[in-house]
Structure 1
Amino acid sequence: MGRRAARRAVTTRAHRRARLRVRLDRARRALAERPAAGGHPGDPRRHRNLLSAIRRRDQGRLRRHRHRCQAGRLTSLQESTVASTPPPPPGPPPPPSGYPPPSGYPPAGYPAVTVASADPAPGLQYAGFWIRFGSYLIDVIPIGIVGGLLNLRTGTGFSCRIDLNGASVCGGGSSYIGSWLGVLILGVYWVLTWSLLGASLGQKALGMRVVNVQNGERIDIVKALIRYVGFVISAIPFALGLIWAGFDPRKQGWHDKIAGTYVVRPQ
Protein backbone atom coordinates (compact mmCIF):
# COMPACT_ATOMS: atom_id res chain seq x y z
CA MET A 1 0.00 0.00 0.00
CA GLY A 2 2.84 2.41 0.76
CA ARG A 3 4.56 1.63 -2.53
CA ARG A 4 1.42 2.38 -4.51
CA ALA A 5 1.06 5.75 -2.79
CA ALA A 6 4.71 6.58 -3.54
CA ARG A 7 4.31 5.63 -7.23
CA ARG A 8 1.17 7.72 -7.47
CA ALA A 9 2.96 10.73 -5.96
CA VAL A 10 5.87 10.40 -8.43
CA THR A 11 3.49 10.12 -11.40
CA THR A 12 1.51 13.17 -10.29
CA ARG A 13 4.66 15.21 -9.88
CA ALA A 14 5.89 14.28 -13.39
CA HIS A 15 2.54 15.29 -14.87
CA ARG A 16 2.64 18.64 -13.10
CA ARG A 17 6.13 19.34 -14.39
CA ALA A 18 5.03 18.51 -17.92
CA ARG A 19 2.03 20.81 -17.64
CA LEU A 20 4.27 23.55 -16.22
CA ARG A 21 6.57 23.30 -19.25
CA VAL A 22 3.59 23.47 -21.59
CA ARG A 23 2.26 26.56 -19.87
CA LEU A 24 5.68 28.24 -19.98
CA ASP A 25 5.98 27.54 -23.71
CA ARG A 26 2.52 28.94 -24.33
CA ALA A 27 3.32 32.03 -22.30
CA ARG A 28 6.53 32.63 -24.31
CA ARG A 29 4.71 32.33 -27.60
CA ALA A 30 1.89 34.59 -26.43
CA LEU A 31 4.32 37.23 -25.26
CA ALA A 32 6.34 37.03 -28.46
CA GLU A 33 3.23 37.46 -30.61
CA ARG A 34 1.59 40.16 -28.42
CA PRO A 35 2.23 43.70 -29.84
CA ALA A 36 3.28 46.45 -27.52
CA ALA A 37 1.42 49.71 -27.10
CA GLY A 38 1.51 51.73 -30.36
CA GLY A 39 1.54 48.64 -32.64
CA HIS A 40 5.22 47.88 -32.18
CA PRO A 41 6.52 44.52 -31.10
CA GLY A 42 6.69 43.94 -27.35
CA ASP A 43 9.70 44.85 -25.29
CA PRO A 44 11.86 41.76 -24.67
CA ARG A 45 12.69 42.97 -21.15
CA ARG A 46 9.01 43.17 -20.29
CA HIS A 47 8.51 39.69 -21.70
CA ARG A 48 11.29 38.31 -19.56
CA ASN A 49 9.79 39.86 -16.41
CA LEU A 50 6.43 38.31 -17.14
CA LEU A 51 8.00 34.93 -17.78
CA SER A 52 9.94 35.17 -14.55
CA ALA A 53 6.78 35.99 -12.61
CA ILE A 54 4.94 33.06 -14.18
CA ARG A 55 7.88 30.75 -13.50
CA ARG A 56 8.08 31.83 -9.84
CA ARG A 57 4.37 31.32 -9.38
CA ASP A 58 4.44 27.88 -10.93
CA GLN A 59 7.58 26.90 -9.06
CA GLY A 60 5.92 27.94 -5.77
CA ARG A 61 2.94 25.77 -6.60
CA LEU A 62 5.23 22.92 -7.56
CA ARG A 63 7.19 23.31 -4.32
CA ARG A 64 4.05 23.22 -2.20
CA HIS A 65 2.82 20.20 -4.08
CA ARG A 66 6.19 18.50 -3.54
CA HIS A 67 5.93 19.12 0.22
CA ARG A 68 2.48 17.64 0.29
CA CYS A 69 3.70 14.60 -1.63
CA GLN A 70 6.61 14.10 0.75
CA ALA A 71 4.31 14.38 3.76
CA GLY A 72 1.96 11.82 2.23
CA ARG A 73 4.93 9.53 1.45
CA LEU A 74 6.14 9.73 5.05
CA THR A 75 2.68 8.96 6.34
CA SER A 76 2.35 6.00 4.01
CA LEU A 77 5.80 4.76 5.00
CA GLN A 78 4.89 5.00 8.68
CA GLU A 79 1.67 3.13 8.07
CA SER A 80 3.50 0.44 6.14
CA THR A 81 6.11 0.18 8.91
CA VAL A 82 3.43 -0.19 11.55
CA ALA A 83 1.63 -2.73 9.42
CA SER A 84 4.83 -4.72 8.83
CA THR A 85 5.84 -4.72 12.53
CA PRO A 86 5.08 -8.15 13.99
CA PRO A 87 2.82 -8.23 17.04
CA PRO A 88 4.50 -8.78 20.44
CA PRO A 89 4.80 -12.35 21.62
CA PRO A 90 2.06 -13.59 23.94
CA GLY A 91 2.67 -13.45 27.69
CA PRO A 92 3.35 -16.44 29.90
CA PRO A 93 0.47 -18.84 30.38
CA PRO A 94 -1.59 -18.52 33.57
CA PRO A 95 -0.66 -20.80 36.48
CA PRO A 96 -2.43 -24.14 36.75
CA SER A 97 -5.72 -24.22 38.57
CA GLY A 98 -4.14 -26.16 41.45
CA TYR A 99 -2.14 -23.13 42.59
CA PRO A 100 -3.57 -19.86 43.89
CA PRO A 101 -3.04 -16.77 41.73
CA PRO A 102 -0.10 -14.60 42.74
CA SER A 103 -0.93 -11.51 44.74
CA GLY A 104 0.95 -8.54 46.16
CA TYR A 105 0.21 -9.50 49.75
CA PRO A 106 2.11 -12.15 51.73
CA PRO A 107 0.22 -15.35 52.46
CA ALA A 108 -1.76 -15.33 55.63
CA GLY A 109 -0.05 -17.24 58.42
CA TYR A 110 -0.18 -17.49 62.14
CA PRO A 111 -0.64 -14.17 63.94
CA ALA A 112 2.44 -12.64 65.44
CA VAL A 113 2.92 -13.55 69.08
CA THR A 114 3.49 -10.52 71.22
CA VAL A 115 5.89 -11.28 74.03
CA ALA A 116 5.28 -9.09 77.02
CA SER A 117 8.31 -7.37 78.39
CA ALA A 118 9.52 -8.55 81.82
CA ASP A 119 10.92 -5.13 82.66
CA PRO A 120 9.04 -2.96 85.15
CA ALA A 121 6.87 -0.09 83.98
CA PRO A 122 8.42 3.38 83.61
CA GLY A 123 8.99 5.00 87.00
CA LEU A 124 9.38 1.64 88.78
CA GLN A 125 12.35 -0.53 89.69
CA TYR A 126 12.95 -3.97 91.16
CA ALA A 127 12.73 -4.16 94.93
CA GLY A 128 15.98 -5.37 96.49
CA PHE A 129 16.59 -7.94 99.21
CA TRP A 130 16.81 -5.70 102.28
CA ILE A 131 13.66 -3.69 101.66
CA ARG A 132 11.77 -6.94 101.08
CA PHE A 133 13.24 -8.34 104.28
CA GLY A 134 11.93 -5.27 106.12
CA SER A 135 8.42 -5.81 104.76
CA TYR A 136 8.67 -9.48 105.77
CA LEU A 137 9.42 -8.47 109.38
CA ILE A 138 6.48 -6.06 109.39
CA ASP A 139 4.18 -8.89 108.29
CA VAL A 140 5.61 -11.69 110.41
CA ILE A 141 6.15 -10.05 113.80
CA PRO A 142 2.45 -9.44 114.56
CA ILE A 143 1.52 -12.92 113.38
CA GLY A 144 4.37 -14.41 115.43
CA ILE A 145 3.08 -12.62 118.49
CA VAL A 146 -0.38 -14.05 117.88
CA GLY A 147 1.07 -17.54 117.51
CA GLY A 148 3.04 -17.19 120.75
CA LEU A 149 -0.04 -16.08 122.61
CA LEU A 150 -1.89 -19.11 121.31
CA ASN A 151 0.88 -21.37 122.63
CA LEU A 152 0.62 -19.76 126.05
CA ARG A 153 -3.18 -19.96 126.02
CA THR A 154 -3.21 -23.67 125.27
CA GLY A 155 -0.40 -24.31 127.75
CA THR A 156 1.50 -26.38 125.28
CA GLY A 157 5.19 -26.90 125.42
CA PHE A 158 7.85 -29.45 124.67
CA SER A 159 9.74 -30.97 127.63
CA CYS A 160 11.73 -34.05 128.59
CA ARG A 161 12.12 -35.67 132.02
CA ILE A 162 13.81 -38.66 133.58
CA ASP A 163 11.71 -41.22 135.47
CA LEU A 164 12.73 -43.28 138.46
CA ASN A 165 14.13 -46.05 136.30
CA GLY A 166 16.49 -43.63 134.55
CA ALA A 167 14.64 -43.59 131.23
CA SER A 168 14.04 -40.25 129.56
CA VAL A 169 10.48 -39.41 128.64
CA CYS A 170 9.70 -36.54 126.21
CA GLY A 171 6.24 -35.13 125.64
CA GLY A 172 4.38 -32.09 124.39
CA GLY A 173 3.26 -33.09 120.89
CA SER A 174 0.64 -30.40 120.98
CA SER A 175 3.33 -27.70 121.14
CA TYR A 176 3.46 -27.53 117.34
CA ILE A 177 -0.20 -26.61 116.99
CA GLY A 178 0.46 -22.92 117.55
CA SER A 179 3.38 -22.92 115.08
CA TRP A 180 1.38 -24.57 112.29
CA LEU A 181 -1.55 -22.32 113.02
CA GLY A 182 0.72 -19.30 112.61
CA VAL A 183 1.98 -20.64 109.27
CA LEU A 184 -1.61 -21.15 108.13
CA ILE A 185 -2.64 -17.66 109.20
CA LEU A 186 0.40 -16.17 107.45
CA GLY A 187 -0.41 -18.09 104.27
CA VAL A 188 -4.04 -16.96 104.17
CA TYR A 189 -2.98 -13.41 104.94
CA TRP A 190 -0.38 -13.25 102.16
CA VAL A 191 -2.53 -14.98 99.52
CA LEU A 192 -5.44 -12.61 100.12
CA THR A 193 -3.40 -9.41 100.29
CA TRP A 194 -1.27 -10.28 97.23
CA SER A 195 -4.32 -11.10 95.09
CA LEU A 196 -6.77 -8.45 96.36
CA LEU A 197 -4.51 -5.54 97.29
CA GLY A 198 -1.49 -6.27 95.10
CA ALA A 199 0.83 -6.31 98.14
CA SER A 200 0.89 -7.24 101.81
CA LEU A 201 0.53 -4.55 104.47
CA GLY A 202 4.27 -4.57 105.09
CA GLN A 203 4.98 -4.21 101.37
CA LYS A 204 2.45 -1.39 101.06
CA ALA A 205 4.04 0.39 104.01
CA LEU A 206 7.35 0.40 102.11
CA GLY A 207 5.80 1.25 98.71
CA MET A 208 6.16 -2.16 97.03
CA ARG A 209 3.85 -4.21 94.81
CA VAL A 210 3.79 -7.83 93.62
CA VAL A 211 3.09 -7.93 89.87
CA ASN A 212 2.81 -10.49 87.10
CA VAL A 213 5.88 -10.95 84.89
CA GLN A 214 3.78 -11.25 81.70
CA ASN A 215 1.77 -8.02 81.91
CA GLY A 216 2.94 -6.11 84.99
CA GLU A 217 -0.55 -6.30 86.55
CA ARG A 218 -1.73 -7.56 89.91
CA ILE A 219 -1.64 -11.34 90.31
CA ASP A 220 -4.74 -13.47 90.80
CA ILE A 221 -5.46 -15.76 93.73
CA VAL A 222 -4.05 -18.84 91.97
CA LYS A 223 -0.68 -17.20 91.36
CA ALA A 224 -0.73 -15.88 94.93
CA LEU A 225 -1.25 -19.41 96.26
CA ILE A 226 1.55 -20.77 94.04
CA ARG A 227 3.80 -17.96 95.26
CA TYR A 228 3.18 -18.81 98.89
CA VAL A 229 3.86 -22.51 98.32
CA GLY A 230 7.07 -21.50 96.56
CA PHE A 231 7.88 -19.27 99.55
CA VAL A 232 7.64 -22.23 101.93
CA ILE A 233 9.81 -24.34 99.60
CA SER A 234 12.37 -21.52 99.31
CA ALA A 235 12.59 -21.18 103.11
CA ILE A 236 13.28 -24.86 103.80
CA PRO A 237 16.98 -25.11 102.69
CA PHE A 238 18.34 -22.47 105.11
CA ALA A 239 16.19 -19.79 103.41
CA LEU A 240 18.46 -20.05 100.36
CA GLY A 241 15.60 -19.42 97.95
CA LEU A 242 14.73 -16.19 99.77
CA ILE A 243 18.33 -14.97 99.92
CA TRP A 244 18.55 -15.61 96.16
CA ALA A 245 16.63 -12.38 95.56
CA GLY A 246 19.69 -10.40 96.66
CA PHE A 247 21.80 -11.78 93.76
CA ASP A 248 19.24 -12.18 90.97
CA PRO A 249 19.27 -9.49 88.20
CA ARG A 250 15.52 -9.02 88.61
CA LYS A 251 15.59 -9.46 92.38
CA GLN A 252 13.48 -12.61 92.16
CA GLY A 253 13.49 -15.30 94.80
CA TRP A 254 12.74 -18.88 94.01
CA HIS A 255 9.06 -18.34 94.88
CA ASP A 256 8.96 -15.43 92.38
CA LYS A 257 10.41 -17.61 89.63
CA ILE A 258 8.00 -20.44 90.44
CA ALA A 259 4.93 -18.18 90.31
CA GLY A 260 6.17 -15.84 87.53
CA THR A 261 6.16 -12.66 89.63
CA TYR A 262 8.49 -9.91 90.76
CA VAL A 263 8.32 -7.12 93.31
CA VAL A 264 8.62 -3.47 92.23
CA ARG A 265 8.80 -0.14 93.99
CA PRO A 266 8.98 3.51 92.87
CA GLN A 267 12.33 4.82 91.71
Structure 2
Amino acid sequence: MSTPGSGPYGGQYPPGRPAQFPPQGYNPYGQGNPGGGYGYGYAPPGRLADWPSRVGASLLDSLIMAIPAIAGVLAALVIDGNKEELGAGGGIAMIGGFVVAFGIWVWNRIVQQGRTGQSFGKKVAGLRIVDAHTGQLIGMGKNLGREVCAQIFNQLCVLNVLWPLWDDKQQTWHDKVVSDIVIKS
Protein backbone atom coordinates (compact mmCIF):
# COMPACT_ATOMS: atom_id res chain seq x y z
CA MET A 1 0.00 0.00 0.00
CA SER A 2 1.44 3.35 -0.95
CA THR A 3 1.36 6.45 1.19
CA PRO A 4 0.36 9.90 -0.01
CA GLY A 5 3.25 11.42 -1.88
CA SER A 6 4.67 8.10 -3.03
CA GLY A 7 3.91 6.32 -6.25
CA PRO A 8 5.12 5.73 -9.74
CA TYR A 9 5.75 9.43 -10.39
CA GLY A 10 7.89 10.15 -7.32
CA GLY A 11 5.27 11.82 -5.17
CA GLN A 12 2.88 13.03 -7.82
CA TYR A 13 -0.08 11.27 -9.40
CA PRO A 14 -0.10 12.02 -12.28
CA PRO A 15 2.79 14.40 -13.00
CA GLY A 16 1.95 17.99 -12.12
CA ARG A 17 -1.05 17.11 -9.91
CA PRO A 18 -1.17 16.77 -6.14
CA ALA A 19 -1.21 13.26 -4.75
CA GLN A 20 -4.80 12.25 -4.19
CA PHE A 21 -6.88 9.24 -4.99
CA PRO A 22 -9.03 9.17 -6.90
CA PRO A 23 -7.65 12.06 -8.95
CA GLN A 24 -9.90 15.12 -9.12
CA GLY A 25 -12.43 14.73 -11.91
CA TYR A 26 -11.75 10.99 -12.14
CA ASN A 27 -14.34 9.10 -14.16
CA PRO A 28 -13.63 5.39 -14.64
CA TYR A 29 -15.70 5.41 -17.82
CA GLY A 30 -13.75 8.27 -19.39
CA GLN A 31 -16.78 10.13 -20.73
CA GLY A 32 -17.73 13.64 -19.79
CA ASN A 33 -14.74 13.96 -17.52
CA PRO A 34 -14.96 17.58 -16.32
CA GLY A 35 -11.64 17.66 -14.53
CA GLY A 36 -9.69 16.22 -17.44
CA GLY A 37 -8.87 13.21 -15.25
CA TYR A 38 -7.31 9.95 -16.23
CA GLY A 39 -10.26 7.59 -16.76
CA TYR A 40 -10.43 4.47 -18.86
CA GLY A 41 -12.05 6.05 -21.92
CA TYR A 42 -11.31 4.60 -25.33
CA ALA A 43 -9.32 6.71 -27.75
CA PRO A 44 -8.33 4.95 -30.98
CA PRO A 45 -4.73 5.32 -32.18
CA GLY A 46 -5.98 6.97 -35.36
CA ARG A 47 -9.16 7.89 -37.19
CA LEU A 48 -11.34 4.79 -37.55
CA ALA A 49 -11.90 3.61 -41.11
CA ASP A 50 -15.41 4.02 -42.44
CA TRP A 51 -17.38 1.06 -43.76
CA PRO A 52 -17.33 2.01 -47.49
CA SER A 53 -13.51 2.27 -47.42
CA ARG A 54 -13.23 -1.16 -45.82
CA VAL A 55 -15.59 -2.68 -48.39
CA GLY A 56 -13.67 -1.07 -51.25
CA ALA A 57 -10.36 -2.41 -49.93
CA SER A 58 -11.86 -5.89 -49.59
CA LEU A 59 -13.23 -5.79 -53.13
CA LEU A 60 -9.79 -4.83 -54.49
CA ASP A 61 -8.19 -7.72 -52.59
CA SER A 62 -10.84 -10.10 -53.95
CA LEU A 63 -10.31 -8.84 -57.48
CA ILE A 64 -6.58 -9.54 -57.49
CA MET A 65 -7.31 -13.07 -56.26
CA ALA A 66 -10.06 -13.62 -58.82
CA ILE A 67 -7.88 -12.84 -61.84
CA PRO A 68 -5.74 -16.03 -61.75
CA ALA A 69 -8.76 -18.16 -60.79
CA ILE A 70 -10.73 -16.86 -63.78
CA ALA A 71 -7.68 -17.29 -66.02
CA GLY A 72 -7.44 -20.94 -64.91
CA VAL A 73 -11.10 -21.58 -65.72
CA LEU A 74 -10.77 -19.89 -69.12
CA ALA A 75 -7.63 -21.89 -69.88
CA ALA A 76 -9.51 -25.09 -68.96
CA LEU A 77 -12.30 -24.16 -71.37
CA VAL A 78 -9.83 -23.42 -74.16
CA ILE A 79 -7.91 -26.67 -73.58
CA ASP A 80 -10.95 -28.95 -73.31
CA GLY A 81 -13.31 -27.07 -75.62
CA ASN A 82 -16.87 -28.38 -75.68
CA LYS A 83 -16.25 -31.68 -73.92
CA GLU A 84 -18.79 -32.87 -71.37
CA GLU A 85 -16.09 -33.67 -68.81
CA LEU A 86 -12.97 -31.82 -67.86
CA GLY A 87 -9.83 -33.47 -69.23
CA ALA A 88 -6.41 -33.69 -67.59
CA GLY A 89 -5.07 -30.55 -69.27
CA GLY A 90 -8.12 -28.48 -68.37
CA GLY A 91 -8.08 -29.81 -64.83
CA ILE A 92 -4.43 -28.87 -64.37
CA ALA A 93 -5.09 -25.38 -65.76
CA MET A 94 -8.05 -24.86 -63.42
CA ILE A 95 -6.26 -26.20 -60.36
CA GLY A 96 -3.22 -24.08 -61.23
CA GLY A 97 -5.37 -20.94 -61.37
CA PHE A 98 -6.86 -21.67 -57.96
CA VAL A 99 -3.46 -22.49 -56.42
CA VAL A 100 -2.07 -19.18 -57.69
CA ALA A 101 -5.14 -17.36 -56.31
CA PHE A 102 -4.63 -19.01 -52.91
CA GLY A 103 -0.93 -18.06 -52.99
CA ILE A 104 -1.88 -14.45 -53.68
CA TRP A 105 -4.34 -14.55 -50.76
CA VAL A 106 -1.65 -15.90 -48.41
CA TRP A 107 0.92 -13.34 -49.53
CA ASN A 108 -1.44 -10.37 -49.58
CA ARG A 109 -3.74 -11.02 -46.63
CA ILE A 110 -1.45 -12.95 -44.26
CA VAL A 111 2.16 -11.97 -44.94
CA GLN A 112 1.88 -8.37 -46.22
CA GLN A 113 -1.02 -7.40 -43.99
CA GLY A 114 0.71 -9.00 -41.00
CA ARG A 115 3.99 -7.20 -41.64
CA THR A 116 2.70 -3.77 -42.64
CA GLY A 117 -0.93 -3.69 -41.48
CA GLN A 118 -1.97 -3.26 -45.10
CA SER A 119 -3.06 -5.61 -47.84
CA PHE A 120 -2.98 -4.31 -51.42
CA GLY A 121 -6.59 -3.11 -51.12
CA LYS A 122 -6.00 -1.45 -47.75
CA LYS A 123 -2.90 0.29 -49.10
CA VAL A 124 -4.85 1.72 -52.05
CA ALA A 125 -7.72 2.75 -49.73
CA GLY A 126 -5.32 4.27 -47.17
CA LEU A 127 -6.24 1.88 -44.34
CA ARG A 128 -4.15 0.02 -41.77
CA ILE A 129 -4.88 -2.70 -39.20
CA VAL A 130 -3.51 -2.01 -35.72
CA ASP A 131 -3.97 -3.39 -32.22
CA ALA A 132 -6.98 -1.69 -30.61
CA HIS A 133 -5.12 -1.06 -27.34
CA THR A 134 -1.55 -0.25 -28.36
CA GLY A 135 -1.89 1.10 -31.90
CA GLN A 136 0.95 -1.22 -32.99
CA LEU A 137 0.85 -3.69 -35.88
CA ILE A 138 -0.78 -6.99 -34.94
CA GLY A 139 1.80 -9.22 -36.65
CA MET A 140 1.41 -12.28 -38.84
CA GLY A 141 0.21 -14.66 -36.11
CA LYS A 142 -2.71 -12.53 -34.96
CA ASN A 143 -3.39 -11.56 -38.55
CA LEU A 144 -3.63 -15.23 -39.55
CA GLY A 145 -6.16 -15.76 -36.76
CA ARG A 146 -8.04 -12.68 -37.91
CA GLU A 147 -8.23 -13.89 -41.50
CA VAL A 148 -9.29 -17.44 -40.53
CA CYS A 149 -12.01 -16.01 -38.28
CA ALA A 150 -13.08 -13.66 -41.08
CA GLN A 151 -13.48 -16.59 -43.49
CA ILE A 152 -15.49 -18.58 -40.95
CA PHE A 153 -17.70 -15.68 -39.83
CA ASN A 154 -18.30 -14.45 -43.39
CA GLN A 155 -19.44 -17.93 -44.45
CA LEU A 156 -21.72 -18.33 -41.42
CA CYS A 157 -23.40 -14.94 -41.31
CA VAL A 158 -23.43 -11.80 -43.44
CA LEU A 159 -23.79 -9.72 -40.25
CA ASN A 160 -20.03 -9.95 -39.77
CA VAL A 161 -19.37 -7.61 -42.67
CA LEU A 162 -22.23 -5.30 -41.73
CA TRP A 163 -21.31 -5.07 -38.03
CA PRO A 164 -19.03 -1.99 -38.40
CA LEU A 165 -22.07 0.04 -39.49
CA TRP A 166 -23.37 0.20 -35.90
CA ASP A 167 -20.38 -0.81 -33.78
CA ASP A 168 -18.82 2.01 -31.71
CA LYS A 169 -15.28 0.97 -32.76
CA GLN A 170 -16.44 0.06 -36.28
CA GLN A 171 -15.19 -3.50 -35.79
CA THR A 172 -16.27 -6.73 -37.42
CA TRP A 173 -16.51 -9.87 -35.30
CA HIS A 174 -13.08 -11.03 -36.48
CA ASP A 175 -11.65 -7.63 -35.44
CA LYS A 176 -13.13 -8.14 -31.98
CA VAL A 177 -11.72 -11.68 -31.65
CA VAL A 178 -8.11 -10.51 -32.11
CA SER A 179 -8.72 -7.03 -30.64
CA ASP A 180 -7.73 -4.95 -33.66
CA ILE A 181 -9.16 -1.91 -35.39
CA VAL A 182 -8.88 -0.59 -38.94
CA ILE A 183 -7.76 3.02 -39.15
CA LYS A 184 -7.09 5.58 -41.84
CA SER A 185 -3.33 5.70 -42.34
Q: Same fold (TM over 0.5)?
A: yes
Counterpart of 2:179? Answer: 260
**For 2:162 and 2:86, how far apart are their aligned partners in 1?**
33
1:150 correspondence with 2:72: yes
**For 2:103 and 2:168, how far apart are their aligned partners in 1?**
31
Deviations 1:19-51 (A, max 9, x none): xxxxxxxxxxxxxxxxxxxxxxxxxxxxxxxxx
**For 2:108 and 2:122, how far apart are their aligned partners in 1?**
13
TM-score (norm 2): 0.64
Q: CA deviation at 1:180?
A: 6.3
TM-score (norm 1): 0.46
Change (3 A) 1:148 1:265: same
Counterpart of 1:135? Answer: 57
Q: Which has the higher contact order (CA 8 A, sep 6+)?
A: 2
Counterpart of 1:119? Answer: 43
Whether contact under 8 Å (2:68, 2:100) holds in the other structure is no
**For 2:109 and 2:158, how far apart are their aligned partners in 1?**
18
Q: Does the residue aligned with 1:125 lie in a helix, a strand or coil?
A: coil
Q: CA deviation at 1:239?
A: 3.0
Q: Does the residue aligned with 2:47 lie in a helix, a strand or coil?
A: strand
Specify which of 101, 110, 126 is matched with residue 191 of structure 1.
110
**For 1:180 and 1:116, how far apart are their aligned partners in 2?**
47
Q: Percent identity?
A: 25
Change (3 A) 1:183 1:129: farther
Q: Identify, as 1 or 2, the structure richer in helix.
A: 1
Deviations 1:190-229 (A, max 9, x none): 1112121221122122221100122111111101101110
Question: Greater Rg, structure 1 or structure 2?
Answer: 1
Q: Does the residue aligned with 2:156 lie in a helix, a strand or coil?
A: coil
* Count of residues paired in the alignment: 144
1:250 correspondence with 2:169: yes
Whether contact under 8 Å (1:120, 1:216) holds in the other structure is yes
Counterpart of 1:82? Answer: none
Moved more, 192-201 or 174-183: 174-183
Counterpart of 1:205? Answer: 124
Whether contact under 8 Å (2:76, 2:94) holds in the other structure is no
Regions of 4+ moved over 6 Å: none
Can you give the 5+ residue segments of structure 1 that lack an aligned partner in the other structure? Answer: 1-102, 107-114, 162-170
